Amino acid sequence: MDADPIVKVRDVSMRYENGTHALNAVTLDIPKGNLVTLLGPSGCGKTSLLKIIAGLLKPSSGEIRINDRVTHAPGPDRALVFQDFALMPWANMMRNVAFGLELRGVPRAERHRIAQKYISEVGLTGFEEKYPHELSGGMRQRAGLARALAVNADVLMMDEPFSSVDEQMRRKLQEDLLALLRVEKKTVIFVTHSIEEAVYLSDRIVLLSRHPGRVMRIVDTGIDHNAAPEDIRRDPRYLDTVDDIWTSLKGYLN
Protein backbone atom coordinates (compact mmCIF):
# COMPACT_ATOMS: atom_id res chain seq x y z
CA MET A 1 0.00 0.00 0.00
CA ASP A 2 1.08 3.60 -0.58
CA ALA A 3 2.25 5.61 2.42
CA ASP A 4 -0.30 8.43 2.08
CA PRO A 5 -3.01 7.63 -0.49
CA ILE A 6 -5.81 10.17 -0.97
CA VAL A 7 -8.33 7.41 -1.83
CA LYS A 8 -8.43 4.02 -0.13
CA VAL A 9 -10.65 1.25 -1.48
CA ARG A 10 -10.96 -1.50 1.09
CA ASP A 11 -12.43 -4.94 0.35
CA VAL A 12 -15.21 -3.54 -1.85
CA SER A 13 -17.70 -5.98 -3.36
CA MET A 14 -20.80 -5.17 -5.40
CA ARG A 15 -23.82 -7.36 -6.12
CA TYR A 16 -26.76 -5.81 -7.94
CA GLU A 17 -30.38 -6.73 -7.18
CA ASN A 18 -30.59 -8.66 -10.46
CA GLY A 19 -27.87 -11.00 -9.17
CA THR A 20 -24.97 -9.56 -11.16
CA HIS A 21 -21.75 -9.86 -9.16
CA ALA A 22 -19.82 -6.84 -10.45
CA LEU A 23 -16.92 -6.56 -7.97
CA ASN A 24 -15.31 -8.93 -5.50
CA ALA A 25 -13.11 -7.80 -2.60
CA VAL A 26 -11.36 -4.94 -4.42
CA THR A 27 -8.62 -3.25 -2.40
CA LEU A 28 -6.41 -0.52 -3.83
CA ASP A 29 -4.83 2.87 -3.12
CA ILE A 30 -4.95 6.03 -5.22
CA PRO A 31 -1.81 8.13 -4.52
CA LYS A 32 -2.27 11.88 -4.28
CA GLY A 33 -1.36 13.72 -7.48
CA ASN A 34 -1.42 10.57 -9.66
CA LEU A 35 -3.58 9.71 -12.63
CA VAL A 36 -4.76 6.15 -11.97
CA THR A 37 -6.68 4.27 -14.64
CA LEU A 38 -9.12 1.40 -14.12
CA LEU A 39 -8.73 -0.95 -17.07
CA GLY A 40 -10.09 -4.37 -17.91
CA PRO A 41 -12.41 -6.39 -20.15
CA SER A 42 -16.05 -5.40 -20.61
CA GLY A 43 -18.07 -6.26 -17.54
CA CYS A 44 -15.15 -6.08 -15.11
CA GLY A 45 -16.84 -3.44 -12.96
CA LYS A 46 -14.74 -0.39 -13.87
CA THR A 47 -17.66 2.03 -13.94
CA SER A 48 -19.30 0.40 -10.92
CA LEU A 49 -16.12 0.96 -8.92
CA LEU A 50 -15.85 4.56 -10.11
CA LYS A 51 -19.46 5.24 -9.09
CA ILE A 52 -18.85 3.66 -5.68
CA ILE A 53 -15.84 5.92 -5.13
CA ALA A 54 -17.94 8.87 -6.31
CA GLY A 55 -20.62 7.98 -3.76
CA LEU A 56 -23.25 7.34 -6.44
CA LEU A 57 -23.49 3.62 -5.62
CA LYS A 58 -23.42 1.89 -2.26
CA PRO A 59 -21.21 -1.22 -2.24
CA SER A 60 -22.56 -4.52 -0.96
CA SER A 61 -19.58 -4.64 1.41
CA GLY A 62 -16.32 -2.84 2.06
CA GLU A 63 -15.61 0.87 2.37
CA ILE A 64 -14.18 3.92 0.61
CA ARG A 65 -11.99 6.42 2.43
CA ILE A 66 -11.24 9.87 1.04
CA ASN A 67 -8.53 11.74 2.93
CA ASP A 68 -8.86 8.93 5.49
CA ARG A 69 -12.56 9.61 6.11
CA VAL A 70 -15.13 6.91 5.34
CA THR A 71 -17.60 8.16 2.72
CA HIS A 72 -20.99 6.83 1.62
CA ALA A 73 -22.26 9.68 -0.55
CA PRO A 74 -21.13 12.28 -3.08
CA GLY A 75 -19.16 15.17 -1.63
CA PRO A 76 -17.26 18.33 -2.56
CA ASP A 77 -13.97 16.43 -2.39
CA ARG A 78 -14.85 14.59 -5.64
CA ALA A 79 -15.94 15.75 -9.12
CA LEU A 80 -17.06 13.57 -12.03
CA VAL A 81 -16.57 14.12 -15.77
CA PHE A 82 -19.18 12.15 -17.69
CA GLN A 83 -18.83 10.28 -20.97
CA ASP A 84 -21.81 12.12 -22.50
CA PHE A 85 -20.65 15.60 -21.38
CA ALA A 86 -23.81 16.07 -19.20
CA LEU A 87 -24.06 19.76 -20.09
CA MET A 88 -27.37 21.57 -19.58
CA PRO A 89 -28.64 22.26 -23.14
CA TRP A 90 -30.57 25.37 -22.06
CA ALA A 91 -27.54 27.08 -20.48
CA ASN A 92 -24.57 28.73 -22.15
CA MET A 93 -21.06 27.49 -21.49
CA MET A 94 -20.33 30.05 -18.77
CA ARG A 95 -23.44 28.95 -16.84
CA ASN A 96 -22.57 25.28 -17.37
CA VAL A 97 -19.00 25.67 -16.13
CA ALA A 98 -20.11 27.76 -13.14
CA PHE A 99 -23.04 25.48 -12.25
CA GLY A 100 -21.31 23.53 -9.46
CA LEU A 101 -20.25 26.79 -7.85
CA GLU A 102 -23.80 28.12 -8.19
CA LEU A 103 -25.10 25.06 -6.32
CA ARG A 104 -22.63 25.83 -3.52
CA GLY A 105 -23.94 29.38 -3.18
CA VAL A 106 -20.84 31.13 -4.54
CA PRO A 107 -21.73 34.74 -5.46
CA ARG A 108 -22.24 35.34 -9.18
CA ALA A 109 -19.19 37.55 -9.77
CA GLU A 110 -16.89 35.12 -7.96
CA ARG A 111 -18.18 32.03 -9.71
CA HIS A 112 -17.86 33.73 -13.10
CA ARG A 113 -14.28 34.71 -12.28
CA ILE A 114 -13.44 31.11 -11.34
CA ALA A 115 -15.31 29.68 -14.35
CA GLN A 116 -13.49 32.08 -16.68
CA LYS A 117 -10.13 30.87 -15.34
CA TYR A 118 -10.91 27.26 -16.23
CA ILE A 119 -12.57 28.12 -19.53
CA SER A 120 -9.28 29.78 -20.43
CA GLU A 121 -7.23 26.81 -19.17
CA VAL A 122 -9.12 24.35 -21.41
CA GLY A 123 -8.76 26.64 -24.43
CA LEU A 124 -12.36 27.84 -24.82
CA THR A 125 -11.99 31.60 -24.33
CA GLY A 126 -14.42 33.37 -26.65
CA PHE A 127 -17.10 30.67 -26.46
CA GLU A 128 -18.56 31.63 -23.07
CA GLU A 129 -21.96 32.62 -24.52
CA LYS A 130 -22.30 29.58 -26.78
CA TYR A 131 -24.79 26.82 -26.01
CA PRO A 132 -23.87 23.10 -26.07
CA HIS A 133 -25.48 22.52 -29.48
CA GLU A 134 -23.20 25.23 -30.90
CA LEU A 135 -20.03 23.44 -29.71
CA SER A 136 -18.19 20.48 -31.22
CA GLY A 137 -17.91 17.23 -29.27
CA GLY A 138 -14.36 18.06 -28.25
CA MET A 139 -15.38 21.52 -27.07
CA ARG A 140 -18.29 20.12 -25.06
CA GLN A 141 -15.94 17.67 -23.36
CA ARG A 142 -13.51 20.49 -22.53
CA ALA A 143 -16.43 22.43 -21.04
CA GLY A 144 -17.31 19.40 -18.89
CA LEU A 145 -13.71 19.21 -17.71
CA ALA A 146 -13.67 22.94 -16.91
CA ARG A 147 -16.86 22.53 -14.85
CA ALA A 148 -15.30 19.69 -12.85
CA LEU A 149 -12.10 21.67 -12.25
CA ALA A 150 -13.99 24.82 -11.22
CA VAL A 151 -15.29 23.26 -7.99
CA ASN A 152 -11.68 22.54 -6.91
CA ALA A 153 -12.34 18.97 -5.77
CA ASP A 154 -9.48 16.88 -4.40
CA VAL A 155 -10.24 13.98 -6.75
CA LEU A 156 -11.31 14.23 -10.39
CA MET A 157 -13.08 11.15 -11.77
CA MET A 158 -13.40 10.60 -15.51
CA ASP A 159 -15.60 7.86 -16.98
CA GLU A 160 -14.45 7.18 -20.57
CA PRO A 161 -14.47 10.93 -21.21
CA PHE A 162 -13.00 10.80 -24.72
CA SER A 163 -14.83 7.77 -26.14
CA SER A 164 -17.47 9.77 -28.02
CA VAL A 165 -15.07 11.83 -30.15
CA ASP A 166 -13.07 10.80 -33.23
CA GLU A 167 -9.53 9.45 -32.94
CA GLN A 168 -7.81 12.70 -33.91
CA MET A 169 -9.77 14.70 -31.33
CA ARG A 170 -9.25 11.94 -28.76
CA ARG A 171 -5.48 12.26 -29.09
CA LYS A 172 -5.71 16.05 -28.83
CA LEU A 173 -7.85 15.81 -25.68
CA GLN A 174 -5.38 13.34 -24.15
CA GLU A 175 -2.53 15.78 -24.79
CA ASP A 176 -4.60 18.67 -23.42
CA LEU A 177 -5.42 16.71 -20.26
CA LEU A 178 -1.75 15.99 -19.52
CA ALA A 179 -0.86 19.65 -20.14
CA LEU A 180 -3.65 20.75 -17.80
CA LEU A 181 -2.60 18.34 -15.05
CA ARG A 182 0.92 19.76 -15.12
CA VAL A 183 -0.68 23.01 -13.97
CA GLU A 184 -3.52 21.73 -11.78
CA LYS A 185 -1.71 18.71 -10.27
CA LYS A 186 -4.99 16.94 -9.50
CA THR A 187 -5.55 13.35 -8.44
CA VAL A 188 -7.45 11.65 -11.27
CA ILE A 189 -9.26 8.31 -11.43
CA PHE A 190 -9.79 7.49 -15.10
CA VAL A 191 -11.85 4.75 -16.76
CA THR A 192 -11.18 3.64 -20.34
CA HIS A 193 -11.40 0.58 -22.60
CA SER A 194 -8.29 1.70 -24.52
CA ILE A 195 -4.95 0.18 -23.49
CA GLU A 196 -3.05 2.83 -25.47
CA GLU A 197 -4.97 5.66 -23.80
CA ALA A 198 -4.44 4.17 -20.36
CA VAL A 199 -0.68 3.80 -20.83
CA TYR A 200 -0.31 7.23 -22.44
CA LEU A 201 -2.07 9.06 -19.61
CA SER A 202 -1.44 7.04 -16.47
CA ASP A 203 1.03 6.99 -13.65
CA ARG A 204 -0.60 3.74 -12.50
CA ILE A 205 -2.98 1.26 -14.13
CA VAL A 206 -5.24 -1.05 -12.14
CA LEU A 207 -6.05 -4.16 -14.21
CA LEU A 208 -9.36 -5.74 -13.27
CA SER A 209 -10.40 -9.29 -14.14
CA ARG A 210 -13.67 -10.20 -15.86
CA HIS A 211 -16.72 -10.12 -13.58
CA PRO A 212 -16.75 -10.26 -10.76
CA GLY A 213 -13.99 -7.67 -11.04
CA ARG A 214 -10.91 -8.28 -8.92
CA VAL A 215 -7.56 -6.53 -8.91
CA MET A 216 -5.50 -8.68 -11.24
CA ARG A 217 -2.38 -6.50 -11.44
CA ILE A 218 -1.24 -2.98 -10.71
CA VAL A 219 1.13 -1.50 -13.28
CA ASP A 220 3.27 1.56 -12.55
CA THR A 221 4.09 2.92 -16.01
CA GLY A 222 7.23 4.90 -15.14
CA ILE A 223 6.51 7.24 -18.06
CA ASP A 224 7.65 10.86 -17.95
CA HIS A 225 4.45 12.79 -18.63
CA ASN A 226 6.38 16.04 -18.91
CA ALA A 227 7.84 14.78 -22.20
CA ALA A 228 6.49 15.87 -25.59
CA PRO A 229 3.47 13.83 -26.78
CA GLU A 230 5.36 12.25 -29.67
CA ASP A 231 8.21 11.30 -27.33
CA ILE A 232 5.81 9.56 -24.95
CA ARG A 233 4.26 7.53 -27.77
CA ARG A 234 7.72 6.48 -29.01
CA ASP A 235 9.10 5.72 -25.55
CA PRO A 236 10.03 2.01 -25.30
CA ARG A 237 8.36 1.95 -21.87
CA TYR A 238 5.10 3.06 -23.47
CA LEU A 239 5.32 0.46 -26.24
CA ASP A 240 6.42 -2.35 -23.94
CA THR A 241 3.71 -1.56 -21.36
CA VAL A 242 0.99 -1.57 -24.04
CA ASP A 243 2.19 -5.02 -25.18
CA ASP A 244 2.48 -6.28 -21.60
CA ILE A 245 -1.07 -5.23 -20.69
CA TRP A 246 -2.46 -6.63 -23.94
CA THR A 247 -0.85 -9.98 -23.10
CA SER A 248 -2.50 -9.90 -19.67
CA LEU A 249 -5.95 -9.05 -21.01
CA LYS A 250 -6.26 -10.92 -24.29
CA GLY A 251 -6.96 -14.23 -22.55
CA TYR A 252 -10.28 -12.78 -21.41
CA LEU A 253 -11.36 -12.33 -25.04
CA ASN A 254 -11.33 -16.05 -25.87
Q: Kindly give the confidence (pLDDT) of every residue in the chain, 254 residues in length, as a single tens digit, with 9 standing for 90 and above.
A: 555 799 999 999 999 988 889 999 999 999 999 999 999 888 888 999 999 999 999 999 999 999 999 998 998 899 888 777 678 999 999 999 999 899 888 999 999 999 999 999 888 999 999 999 999 888 888 898 889 888 888 999 999 888 877 888 889 889 888 988 888 888 999 999 999 999 999 999 999 998 789 999 999 999 998 899 999 999 999 999 999 999 988 876 55
Model confidence, pTM = 0.91
Domain ranges of the chain: 5-77+154-253, 86-152
pLDDT at 1: 55
pLDDT at 254: 56
Print burial letters for 160-183: b (CB count within 10 Å at least 16), e (below 16): bbbeebeeebbbbbbbbbbbbbee
Determine the topology of domain 5-77+154-253 in CATH.
Answer: Rossmann fold (3.40.50)
pLDDT at 201: 95
pLDDT at 181: 87
pLDDT at 122: 87
